[in-house]
Structure 1
Amino acid sequence: MGNILWHLRGSVTLNGNQDSALDGIEGLLGAQYKTVIERGSDHISFDDPLWRSMFVPNWLAMVMYDRGHFWTDNSQGTLLLYYDLRSLHGMLFCMFAAGLAFFFGMADQGLQSGLAYAAFAFVWLYGVNMLLALIRVPRAILEAVRE
């Protein structure tokens, strides 16, 4: 599993066939209020900009992700489901909130306080959400393909 600042990538070994796994992923995306934009025989993708999903429940595992792609591969003799999820819109929103916190902190006690407020706001808003996603999203994907 790999993760850069706004991506979550990983893979899951599939025990069943790819059609049932992709059906499970499609069901997961529906339960997470994610709009499927493409489904093929070996892949499924969603695109759900932050502004389109502002009023969905915020406790969902994939709430921070605005775009994603799932695909299967059987080239090594084992059927794998790969995923690449992007949280760019969520990260930009959290950076904007951190910028506001910077200005409030700077107005209150100066530059150093503004930087501290901004860092705290970004880590709290984005960091905690990504930490939770690192735990919850792979688990949700596993549950969706194991059914």
Structure 2
Amino acid sequence: MFLFYQRSVHTWFFLCNFSSRKWWNEETVAVVTGGNKGIGFGVCKQFSIAGLRVVLTARDADRGQEAHQKLKHEGFQNISFHQLDVTDAASRTSFAPWLLREHGGFNILVNNAAINGVAIDEVYSKENNISLKDFLVCIS
């Protein structure tokens, strides 16, 4: 499976590069982080057109609800919304049980959420320091 963007008409095309057998159905759940605009918004549309159940997520609940309502207004009925900030542990912790309760889990994850580079550097630095400490303890 891959996505192709045709710049001239600003349209996303969902193309499947598989055998003639369709591997997904209306029970297939796709979670799209950062689905409220840009690439994520286009992916949500194309997954919906393909017949998947789509979970649009966004860091900002208001923007996410607005995108969800716009899609509903355009006729995309198999899309649901849940607020999710992938950099916030509490947000991830509340999202997981909701996803299990409402959809029974997921089959596809499009991790499209934009994240602040500073947060990544801090997390990476913490993990790196822990790994270095663990390594030093092991060799001593």
Q: TM-score range by the shorter chain?
A: under 0.3
> What TM-score do you get using the length of structure 2 for normalisation?
0.26
Asked which structure has the greater RCO (Cα within 8 Å, sep 6+), the reply is 1
